[in-house]
């Protein structure tokens, strides 16, 4: 039972392009939506997170768009660089008192020069 | 300086053996976790401890036994290892129960032969 569905599985974008990774969820009790970035041989690291009271959050070149009615959220990377090549995971958790993160299946992003 | 450190980084062992993975965090966090990442990169929580107390125990075989001697340490002991246990195991911590930003260790790649 996959509670957070992530697509695409892999993505290749030219340097400077804007990769977009999408996630959809079913559990309406989810109210915290982080994105994690994982480089080969390393653990995931928090990149950016959003709560459903806003529709967009931007940190540097990374933007989360959130559509509560559609139960979807997405990550956009502006002016992508080869150093952004990594696996990206969306995740969700139910409430501020429940620390259990449910992860998406991951997107392997490759930025080519 | 490593915030969440786990040892060993690699572990190759035969079926039926018992092995342990150690995890320590120096962030002063109250909550620690074990996650399993399978060959398809899917990340799933196994256990969560808050101040040495078990909070989350997902559907994990009882061959897996976490032990938290103090809130800075959460070790994972696995009995009677099976081929299907081969995966990367990540330890993580967060400031407190309910704070869902998790800091991950570098992972332990377990290979059962």
Query: Model confidence over A66-101: pLDDT tens digits?
Result: 999 999 999 999 999 999 999 999 999 886 555 678
CA-nearest of B90, B99, B77 to B45 is: B90
Q: Is the pLDDT of residue A2 over 70?
A: no
Where are the domains positioned within chain B? 4-112
Q: Is the pLDDT of residue B98 over 70?
A: no
Query: Model confidence over B27-76: pLDDT tens digits?
Result: 999 999 999 999 888 999 999 998 888 888 887 899 999 999 999 999 99
Indicate the DSSP class of residue B96.
Answer: S
Question: Any chain A CB within 8 A of the CB of B99?
Answer: yes
Inter-chain contacts counted by CB atoms under 8 A, chains A and B: 58
pLDDT value for B33? 93
Distance from B1 to chain A by nearest Cα, in Å?
16
* Greatest Cα-to-Cα distance within chain A, rounded to the nearest angstrom: 43
pLDDT value for A3? 86
- Pick the residue from chain B with its C-alpha nearest to A48: B101
Contact B42 A42 (CB under 8 A): no
What band does B110 get if pLDDT is binned at 50, 70 and 90? very high
Contact B97 A97 (CB under 8 A): yes
Q: How many CB atoms lie within 10 A of CB A104?
A: 25
**Tell me, which fold does domain B4-112 have in CATH?**
Immunoglobulin-like (2.60.40)
> Which residues make beta-bridge pairs with A14?
A112
Interface test with A, best of B100, B103, B106 (most A CBs within 10 A): B100
Q: Does an H or E element contain B88, and which?
A: strand B87-94
Chain A: residues touching B (Cβ < 8 Å): 32, 34, 41-46, 49, 87, 89, 93, 96-101, 103, 105-106, 108
Quick one: CATH architecture of A4-97? Sandwich (2.60)
**Set of chain A residues whose Cβ sits within 8 Å of the Cβ of B99:** 99
pLDDT value for B99? 54
Share the mean pLDDT of chain B. Answer: 92
Three-state DSSP class for residue B70: strand
């Amino acid at each position: 039972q996959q509670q957070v569905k992530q697509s695409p599985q892999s993505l290749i974008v030219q340097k400077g392009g804007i990769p977009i990774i999408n996630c959809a969820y079913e559990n309406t009790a989810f109210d915290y939506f982080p994105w994690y970035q994982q480089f080969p041989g390393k653990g995931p690291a928090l990149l950016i997170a959003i709560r459903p009271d806003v529709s967009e959050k931007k940190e540097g070149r990374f933007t989360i768009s959130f559509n509560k009615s559609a139960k979807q959220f997405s990550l956009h990377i502006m002016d992508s660089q080869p150093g952004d090549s990594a696996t990206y995971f969306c995740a969700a958790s139910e409430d501020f008192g429940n620390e259990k993160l449910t992860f998406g299946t991951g997107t392997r992003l490759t930025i080519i020069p | 300086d490593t915030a969440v450190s786990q040892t060993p980084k690699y572990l190759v062992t035969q079926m039926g053996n018992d092995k342990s993975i150690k995890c320590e965090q120096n962030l002063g966090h109250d909550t620690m976790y074990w996650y399993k990442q399978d060959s398809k990169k899917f990340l799933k929580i196994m256990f969560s401890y808050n101040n040495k107390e078990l909070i989350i125990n997902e559907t994990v075989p009882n061959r897996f036994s976490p032990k938290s001697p103090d809130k800075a340490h959460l070790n994972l002991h696995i009995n009677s290892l099976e081929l299907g246990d081969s995966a990367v195991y990540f330890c993580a911590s967060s400031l407190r129960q309910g704070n869902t930003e998790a800091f991950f260790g570098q992972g332990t790649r377990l290979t059962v032969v």
